[in-house]
Amino acid sequence: MNLSSIKSAVTISLVPEAKGGPFVLWDGLEEGMKTAATLGYDAVEIFAPGPDAVGVEEVMELIERYGVEISTLGTGAGWVLHGWSLTAAEEASRRHAIDFVKTIIERAAAFGASAIIGSMQGRSGNGVSRDQALDFLAIALEELGEFAQQHKQALIYEPLNRYETDLINSVRDGVALLNRMENKNLVLLADLFHMNIEEANVGDALREGGKHIGHVHFVDSNRNPAGCGHLDYGPVVEALSDIEFNGYAAAEARPWPTPQAAAASTIDSFKRLFR
């Protein structure tokens, strides 16, 4: 199996309000990038409150200083801080959500990185049926996918488990959603934590995702760092090899038992499985 093209990344949260969430490093951008470089990561995935928290000059200087790339920027702060979602009942909230995601797409593109749509997808409720929510989601993703394409980056969409959304929970449903899109600039994020809940066979689901899989969240069954739960990574590695995945495997995991230990154990697992 040739897995050498898969790259490693670790999450950095710059949003104190997200404390307790599945992000590994919490001590600021420079300290996080320094830690990532010291441990041998290829890149970092940043959960930022907005584009101003990741200034272009500052981040480019840190990339140069530490030799660590930016893989992706999360957009979930739009939900955590403002309560916006792409499927909200109120049109103004949906518009705010789309506009916020665009600012993240634009800033990510400055670093050659992509933006992720996860919690910002929302769910049904408050007078919005599941079918209506799926329509709202598709409309938003069309617009955002085109915007990302204008910035020469793919847009990454993440199916979530049933406890976080009732819209798209499985890779199969994610593929169906992407096939529904006129814009073909979207790829799927395969999060192993969500997949462990929703998929009967994680390896088969990855194969079904195939060319649509553009990013992986490398995490264990309990959302602890890879290797600290009961997930069998053998089928995962085989499937990623079969589909010739060459993107990032990013540690979006709880900082257990400490951020430093979580980052270290994840990169150890990454090297053991993919190198």
Q: So which residues are the catalytic ones?
A: 158, 252
Tokens standing for 29?
Answer: 């951008």
Is 105 in contact with 68 (CB distance < 8 Å)?
no
Reported as half-sphere exposure (CB side, CA atoms, 13 A), residue 46 has a value of 30
Is 215 in contact with 194 (CB distance < 8 Å)?
no
CA dihedral 75, 79, 80, 83 (to 10 degrees): 160
CA dihedral (137, 142, 143, 147) positive or negative:
positive
Is 238 in contact with 232 (CB distance < 8 Å)?
no
The DSSP bridge partners found for residue 251 are 10
Amino acid at 242: D
